[in-house]
Amino acid sequence: DVDSSKESELQDILANLIADPGLRPQMLDYDPNIRDEVRRAYLQKGPCQPKDHTFPQTDLSGYDRRFNVKWFDEFDWLEYSLPFRGHDESDTSSNKGNYLELLQFLADHDEKVKAVVLENAPRNLKLIAPTIQKDLVNACATETIKKIIKDMDGAFFSLLVDESRDVSVKEQMAVVFRYVDKSGDVIE
């Protein structure tokens, strides 16, 4: 029976979803007829906590340190987002916050970026002041919105906003924006 075979295949796919967003296939790689079920299954899995991951050791002031997976259970904020700005953004800090760490990552992987940012930027044009960081992120958000609007080309869209409590009785809000792009792919 073809229908039971397809259902069995779908159940197999859903049972073997890869939780780590860095390792799992893109949504467009799934058959369009099962994408909603795959999305639903990912949402039901909850946040990815790489408990099986072997975290590398880092020398910190002469001591080997590494992330401890037990901290996922001990500190509930670890499953949410990291701070945009660090408490210590000095050159010697080991964690300068997401913005500066990402900027450093980009500089380390792109010579054109490296030539104009951080230590290679003029003193008055480092683009690292808190207000400039916020302005740059807002500009990225604005450009992303413009791209989405252009990509939608006047098509219908849906916006789902839902609030619920998680197991720790904390309020959680989810926002899902869905539309069909010019090539017919469902984008969320």
Question: Has residue 138 got a pLDDT over 60?
Answer: yes
Question: Has residue 115 got a pLDDT over 80?
Answer: yes
Mean pLDDT of 103-117: 87
* Cα 149 from Cα 113, distance rounded (Å): 28
Q: pLDDT averaged over the chain? A: 81
Token pair 């408490």 is at which residue?
A: 87
Confidence class for position 51, pLDDT limits 50, 70, 90: confident
- Residue 173 host element (H or E): strand 171-180
Question: Has residue 168 got a pLDDT over 70?
Answer: no
Local structure of residue 55 (DSSP, 8 states): P
Bridge partners of residue 60, in order along the sequence: 63
Helix (H, G, I), strand (E, B) or coil at 68: coil
CB atoms within 10 A of CB 99: 21
pTM: 0.45
Bridge partners of residue 180, in order along the sequence: 186
Local structure of residue 82 (DSSP, 8 states): P
**What share of the chain has pLDDT > 70, as a percent?**
90
- Ranges of each domain in the chain: 1-48, 153-188
Confidence class for position 103, pLDDT limits 50, 70, 90: confident
- Residue 187: per-residue pLDDT: 84
Cβ-based neighbours of 104, under 8 Å, separated by 6 or more:
96, 118
* Cα 50 from Cα 25, distance rounded (Å): 17
